[in-house]
Amino acid sequence: MFTIPSPIRKTRLEWLDALRGFTMLLVVANHVYGSSLNANTDRSMFMSLCLMFRMPLFFFVSGFLAYKASMIWSGRETLALMWKKVKVQLIPTLVFMTAYVALVANHFWEQFVHAWSTPTKSGFWFTLVLLEMFVVYYVVCFIVRRIVWLRDREDDPFELVALLVVWAISFFGYTTMYMPAWFTWPKEEVWQWTSLTEFVRYFHFFLFGNLCHRYWDRFQQLLDAPWFYPLLVLIAFFCAGDYLVWHTLRLQWANLPRTLAMYTLVVMVVAFFRHYSDSFSRETRVGATLQYIGVRTLDVYLLHYFFLPHLRFLGPMFKARPTSFAIDATLSLALTALVVGLALLTSNILRVSPFLKKWLFGRT
């Protein structure tokens, strides 16, 4: 059989949890800036830069953690994994989305139907799309492993080739989303209701993270190469600069530097957390805090919408002129800390009940 290089060791998972917590903070910060302050993220260099990699990084980490080296991928195990994900992600999303719409809508049913008809689901799209990704990934792994088993060959590269093909297909689907003159499928209702538009937008990052974990030893060698990180910085600077500031490429071509910047920024953040892994361990205050948020990302994501402050009177100030990177970062992250703190407090209150802990947050 094809030999998979050794996966990441458990001792390295601390910085990965911290990375996930950091990404969750960026997600909340964007919602604070856009919803609470009613500000345009396009006029904020801090938010525009964060938007380029925060969700790709989240899906990268999800795909990274989805890889299980010891998984046999029998039919029973695959179905068990799918059912577990349904319980952990679908049921809590339905509960909190319904509660949120009930609190903010003047006409509940009309707003509830409208929320489901949009790909973002009033903000609750992430867990649904992640569930779709896990289901597709599990089905692909099951089929590929069955084929590899039937081939019964040593050092069989089929598994790697199959995953690369799936990544290429998903990446092609992603590129078509930014070619509206040639591809109109994202406008069809079925893609909106199922949020499959967001699935196509981010699934290739999920697979990228999964492949990096499968070949973690080789990926680390690449990260440690003296030329690699400087190259990342160079590509990220010119590609992000072109997309955010210079705009030398327009229309669908503008997505090319944007995509390169997204991938390079994701790898740069991963390299940063890995390099300073000691600073993000449980023994440090920053590491312990980020890890705590990282293991409670589902709680924070589902609950933070209820605590976004209404500071829309500040919106005109931000819209009148582009603000500085430092002001945007400081204000949005300060409010983010408050929102995340309230979300975690509420999570702990609800977790007092074993029933709620199980069905709202997927914990036993």
Q: Which residues contact 175 (CB under 8 A, 6 or more apart)?
A: 255, 259
Q: Is the pLDDT of residue 11 over 80?
A: no
Q: Take residue 11 and report the two structure tokens written for it.
A: 């001792």
Neighbours of 4 (CB within 10 A): 14
pLDDT value, residue 180:
87
pLDDT at 266 over 70: yes
Question: How many Å apart are CA 150 and CA 145, to the nearest integer?
Answer: 9
Mean pLDDT of 109-124: 91
Residue-wise pLDDT for 195-217, tens only, equals 999 999 999 999 999 999 999 99
Query: Which DSSP state fits 247?
Result: -
Quick one: average pLDDT of 176-192?
90
Percent of the chain at pLDDT > 70 equals 92
User: By C-alpha distance, which of 35, 59, 33 is closest to 47?
Assistant: 33
Mean pLDDT for all residues in the chain: 89
Token code pair at residue 46: 């801090």
- Rounded to an integer, what distance in angstroms lies between the CA atom of residue 160 and that of residue 214? 9
Closest CA to 145 of 132, 163, 171, 130: 163
Quote the CA–CA distance of 274 and 268 in Å, as a whole number: 10
Where b means 16+ CB within 10 Å and e means fewer, 243-253 reads bbeeeeeeebe
User: DSSP string covering 152-195, please?
Assistant: --TT-THHHHHHHHHHHHHHHHHHHTT-TTT--GGGSHHHHHTT
C-alpha–C-alpha distance, residues 51 and 49, integer Å: 5
Residue 321 pLDDT grade (very low, low, confident, very high; cuts 50, 70, 90): low
Letter for the amino acid at 343? A
Beta strand extents in the chain (DSSP E only): none
